[in-house]
Structure 1
Amino acid sequence: MAEGSTIIDPRDDVLGRARVTDTPELESFYQELAARNAGAFWKRANAIEPWEPETRYRPTLWRYAEMRDMCLRALDLVKPEEAGRRVVTLLNDSDAGRENTAVCGWLFSGMQAMRPGEITPAHRHTASAHRFIMEGKGAYTVVDGHHITLGANDYVLTPGGCWHDHGVVADGEVSIWQDGLDIPLMNSLETNFYAVYDQPAQTAAFPADDLPLSYGGAALRPEGVAAWEKPYSPVMVYRWEATRDALWSLAKVSEGTPFDGHMVRYSNPLTGGWALQTMGAHMQMLKPGFRGKAHRHTGNVVYNVAAGRGYSIIGGERFDWGTHDIFCVPAWVWHEHVNLDASEEAFLFSFNDFPVMEALGVRIEEALQDNDGHQTCAS
């Protein structure tokens, strides 16, 4: 290799890749370019056009027992009306995660606890949000005047641009849920707006649960109601019992996938597409003793263990998990899941940025071919 060459990866020493040998004359040229807010593309081409995706994020796991304690401590330390949103943020264990306030990729996540009688003041923002309820009783949200009740393992939407507030009824119980938002994506695109409502909370303008009761019937579309023309699902909340039953029914007639077991998408029943425009979500069931094979894909995924115990091997590292532990799989990282229980199913809720990948035409997936489809675990 010639002296002064910038080649780092041996694969780059081919026609079509940058492999310029720097000279004193070129170094002087680079300085002249820099003085003009310019640069030589070949100096950075190989780094910014990698052979395959290179994530800046790390697989990270948050133990529910630990994070639950942090959320309950926040109840005593911060008033919800002063915090705006009393959320404990989940930061990816990477410089990129801390810099972008991201859980993984361009996704944000946090955990929020609320006492009976408390509210999160009404507001709206460009970023879309969705939530997975982990525990409690009497939680609710109001989205553009639609009052929606929430229970454990329910999945609820608060789409971008909608007025929304949350609370727990006075005779309810302390409730905890996981938030997921596309805040990092909206900020990277410089499109994020935020506004507060002119009252602490909205007054419901429709009967309680009118949207899920109208649109939540499997394969059933309501007649005699105004046409739904908004770009997100009208269901708004997907109940745990119906989701679990759908997986049980699917398992009666399907073997599932070798990677994810039996999986269902939270979809817009009017289009069959994702429930939100920028973030998708799934619930999957791993049968007793399930040992999945490894695959990887563009797009980032954040998991919440709805029920069960097991482990996932992510990038060759083992992460053991139990109910409501949270973990993430960065883009283009090999991963596989295992249910450690020999008699009970494990259920994994997850959310992702797949709708963005699909809209841009860059959603790609591949299976691991070596070692019968399993990674070599380093731990």
Structure 2
Amino acid sequence: MASVVSKPDPRDAQLGRARVTDTDELRQFYAELGAHNADAFWNRANAIEPWEPQSRYNPTLWKYAEMRELCLRAVELVRPEDAGRRVVTLLNDSDAGRANTAVCGWLFSGLQAMRPGEITPAHKHTASAHRFIMEGGGAYTVVDGHHITLGKNDYVLTPNGCWHDHGVAADGQLSIWQDGLDIPLMNCMESNFYAVYDAPAQTPGFPADDLPLSYGGAMQPDGVEAWARPFSPTMVYRWEQVRDAIWNFAKVSDGSPFDGHIMRYSNPRTGGWALQTMGAHMQMLKGGLHTRAHRHTGNVVYNVAQGRGYSVIGGRRFDWAEHDIFCVPAWAWHEHVNLDASEEAFLFSFNDFPVMEALGVRIEEALEDKDGRQQVQA
């Protein structure tokens, strides 16, 4: 059994870290351990217990103009009923991303395009899912019999274990949205199940948009059965309401030095995250804003809802425009810049923060030197 090799770190040469010098006798001992499917912990300790998080993923940017063309080619080449889900998968620019079918960390993402009259056959799975609508009209989803209409920049939930199908009305427009799922996490935990519905699509059992109309405001409905499921009953968060909420927040707050004015998509029943394993935010960068750099445990995938600018991630500059997608791996320094001096930029993002918080390992740190700004690599 080969020992794990890690890059030498001068901090490891101290009491409390593994610093054993190999000898012929030890090498023979390691071979004997290997024959019994075992190893010496000190050969692996420094690699599997790093001083700080070491992500296997890289900051990656997907330009929407390029990805949109690929989505349209997929529409021409493959029928949705044959693909199951006709999604162009976003793979992180790393060996881990390709091996785990991950956009960043244990998160999956892809772009799905549908023409008027098309459907994605109904199914369910252990993985939780959510979607951010990027363009089109007449799109909808049906989740456990609840029909939900979708518009540009809306954010919609597909909680784990729920039957769901998607489509675009016959009189609608070509629609494209970004999918986000925790498939890599479920597969890592070896807990993923998948099932196909006994019909191509569900027959809605409730009035259209009944859940967002009941739970999408600041008040809670009385006279109906109490919502007891572990995800948000709102199901869809309309762009106009989200944008207005951030504008109102900006009237009374300076916002975050790291994220501008940022608000989470929350469960109105609990105030917590809308889903159990993935969280999401919308943030607004005022005209000309250049945020300070920080880093945190947990991975974040961004979609530019509006505006143009750039982000510095791990010392590298990534320029973005509307509906470009980029990711920030765990523990990577990052800061954002709105290049428009007079117009706000809006960034939608989703993350694995609920998992970090449930495990008690969500940690955040500000960059203290260089006025909180990174030095950009050439």
Q: TM-score, normalised by structure 1?
A: 0.98
Note if 1:44 corresponds to 2:57: no
Instruction: Give the Cα–Cα distance (whole angstroms) in 2 for the partners of residues 224 and 7 of structure 1.
Output: 62
Q: How many Å separate the matches in 2 of 1:6 and 1:226?
A: 56
Across the aligned residues of Structure 1 and Structure 2, the Cα RMSD in angstroms comes to 1.0
Question: 1:7 and 1:135, CA in 2 relative to 1: closer, same or farther beyond 3 A?
Answer: closer
Identity score, percent: 80
The answer as to whether partners of 2:111 and 2:176 remain within 8 angstroms in 1 is: yes
C-alpha separation between the residues in 1 aligned to 2:90 and 2:138? 25
Whole-angstrom distance in 1 between the partners of 2:312 and 2:180: 23
Aligned-pair CA distance for 1:79: 0.3
Hey, what does 1:182 align to over in structure 2? 182
Q: Which residue of 2 aligns with 1:333?
A: 332
Give me the whole-angstrom Cα distance separating, in 2, the residues matched to 1:348 and 1:224: 37
2:245 is matched with 246
Deviations along 1:100-145, one digit per CA (max 9) or x if unpaired, are 0000000000000000000000000000000000000000000000
Count of residue pairs brought into register by the alignment: 374
| Alignment partner, residue 230 of structure 1 | 229
Task: Report if the CA contact (8 A) 1:71-1:111 is conserved.
Answer: yes
1:208, distance to aligned residue in structure 2 (A): 0.2
Pair 1:64 & 2:55 matched = no
Does the 8 Å contact 1:7/1:13 carry over to 2? no
- How big is each residue's C-alpha offset from its partner over 1:158-194, in whole Å with a ceiling of 9 and x where there is no partner? 0000000000000000000000000000000000000
Q: Write the letter of the residue equivalent to 1:234.
A: P
1:98-117 alignment runs, 5 A limit: 98-117=98-117
Q: Provide Cα deviations, 1:247-287, integer angstroms capped at 9, x if missing partner.
A: 10000000001000001100000000000000000000000
Q: Deviations over 1:19-39 (max 9, x none)?
A: 001000000000000000000
| 1:6 Cα deviation from its structure 2 partner | 9.0
Q: Residue type of the partner of 1:211?
A: L
1:331 is paired with a residue whose SS is coil
Indicate if the aligned counterparts of 1:104 and 1:301 stay in contact, CA closer than 8 A. Answer: yes
Residues 129, 157 of structure 2: 8 Å contact kept:
yes
Contact 1:215 1:235 in 2 (8 A): yes
Measure the CA separation in 2 of the matches of 1:150 and 1:336. Answer: 31
Q: Distance in 2 between matches of 1:85 and 1:224?
A: 38
For residues 147 and 187 of structure 1, the distance between their equivalents in structure 2, rounded to whole angstroms, comes to 29
Asked if structure 2 preserves the Cα contact closer than 8 Å seen for 1:7 and 1:19, the reply is no
Q: CA deviation at 1:157?
A: 0.1
Work out whether residues 64 and 325 of structure 1, in 8 Å CA contact, stay in contact via their aligned partners in 2.
yes
- C-alpha separation in 1, matches of 2:205 and 2:263: 32
Q: Please give the alpha-carbon distance, in whole angstroms, between the structure 2 residues aligned to 1:61 and 1:301.
A: 12
Matched AA of 1:230: R
* TM-aligned CA deviation for residue 56 of structure 1: 0.2
Structure 1 portions without partners, runs of 5+: none
Partner residue in 2 for 1:152: 152
CA distance in 2, matches of 1:211, 1:378: 48
Q: Which amino acid counterpart does residue 167 of structure 1 have in structure 2?
A: G
CA contact (8 A) 2:303 2:347 kept: yes
Is 1:370 the counterpart of 2:369? The answer is: yes
Counterpart code for 1:294: A
Any residues of structure 2 matched to 1:270-309 within 5 Å, and which?
Answer: 270-309=269-308
1:7 positional shift? 8.4
Q: Paired residue for 1:120?
A: 120
CA separation in 2, counterparts of 1:73 and 1:6? 43
Determine the structure 2 residue equivalent to 1:319: 318
Query: Contact (CA 8 Å) 2:6, 2:47: kept in 1 or not?
Result: no
C-alpha separation between the residues in 2 aligned to 1:18 and 1:6? 12
Report the equivalent of 1:347: 346
Alpha-carbon distance in structure 1 between the residues aligned to 2:303 and 2:221:
32
Once residues 58 and 40 of structure 1 are traced to their aligned partners in structure 2, the CA distance between those partners, rounded to angstroms, is 31
The aligned counterpart of 2:32 is 32
